[in-house]
Structure 1
Amino acid sequence: MRKEVMEYVSQNKDLQRFMREQPAWYRRLSRNPNDIQALEIAALHHYQRTIPHKVEKFTNSVQMATMMMSMFQAMKSQT
């Protein structure tokens, strides 16, 4: 693998960890170093750090809070 690609990957701990978990990326980057952007996108999807994933997490949190509030209101109305 090219030195500049290795340096770039070594600066980002998530990319390092992703490449260790997915060794096919070593071969892919060795053959085509321009795939570094594809590596970053694949790592974001793998670790669920894309915008849709963040929106989904936020939505789940809001739904959980709403459910808890409705449970508290139901408990309060029973007493």
Structure 2
Amino acid sequence: MRKEVIEYIEQNQELRNFIREQPHWYRKLSRNPMDLQAFEIASLHYHRKTIPHHVEKFNNGVQMASMMMGMFQAMNSQT
């Protein structure tokens, strides 16, 4: 693999972990270093850090809060 690609990956802990867990990317980047952007996108999907993942996480939090509010309201109405 090219030295500058290795240095770039070593600067980011998530990329370093991703390439350890998905070694086929090491081979892929060795053959074609221009796939670095695709590698980063795959890492974001793997670590669930894309915008849709953030929206989903926020939505789950709102649903949980709504459910808790409903439970508290139900408890207050019974007393």
TM-score (norm: length of structure 1): 0.99
Secondary structure in 1 matching 2:49 = coil
Distance in 2 between residues matched to 1:26 and 1:47, nearest whole Å: 18
Alignment deviations for residues 52-72 of structure 1 (CA, whole Å, 9 cap, x no partner): 000000000000000000000
Query: Which runs of 5 or more structure 2 residues have no equivalent in the other structure?
Result: none
Alpha-carbon distance in 2 for matches of 1:57, 1:26: 30
CA apart distance, 1:21: 0.1
Q: Which residue of 2 aligns with 1:70?
A: 70
1:31 alignment counterpart:
31
Off by >3 Å, runs of 4+ in structure 1: none
- Please tell me the root mean square deviation across aligned C-alpha atoms, in Å: 0.3
Task: Give the percent of matched residue pairs that are identical in Structure 1 and Structure 2.
Answer: 70
* TM score, norm. by length of structure 2: 0.99
Gaps of 5+ in 1: none
